[in-house]
Amino acid sequence: MCIFCDIVEGKIPSTKVYEDEYVIAIRDLNPQAPVHDLVIPKKHFDNIVDLAAADDGTYSAAVIDAIAEVAKAEGIDEGFRVINNCGADAGQSVMHVHFHVIGGRKFEEKII
């Protein structure tokens, strides 16, 4: 049982901003900026370490392409942040790898 697998399968509703064979991107339920989307591989990987180990590169490449497509579709491709929380200590709350695409406002120079 994984909420992002359920979202991928359409069992839980979401607002999709991008989809291809390998990846979906949805609006975050609790946005931290004017644009806050989540790029989610359609196949379950626990985190980025699992993705790197278990994938032959197909999903990893699709994620990068999807991030760029989402940024363009949202009109933020001139400036945005990509965040991946890996593991509970980093604040990962959904244990299905996903990449936050955040923008629509100016960020401070400090990353955190």
Catalytic positions are 98
32 phi and psi, to 5 degrees?
Answer: -100, 0
**Shortest CB 88 distance to ligand 5GP, Å:** 9
5 binds Zn ion (CB under 5 A): yes
Q: Which of 36, 41, 96, 101 binds Zn ion (CB under 5 A)?
A: 96
d(CA 44, CA 51): 9
Q: Which of 24, 25, 26, 70 binds ligand 5GP (CB under 6 A)?
A: 26
Query: Whats the size of the chain, residue-wise?
Result: 112
Q: Which is nearer to ligand 5GP, 30 or 56 (CB)?
A: 30
d(CA 100, CA 2): 18
Q: Where are the alpha helices (DSSP H) in 20-93?
A: 48-54, 58-73
102 binds ligand 5GP (CB under 6 A): no
Q: Which of 1, 29, 111, 112 binds ligand 5GP (CB under 6 A)?
A: 29
67-96 binders of ligand 5GP (CB under 6 A): 85, 91-94
Beta bridge pairs of residue 36: 102
19 binds ligand 5GP (CB under 6 A): no
Q: Which residues contact 109 (CB under 8 A, 6 or more apart)?
A: none
Residues that bind Zn ion (CB under 5 A): 2, 4-5, 44, 96
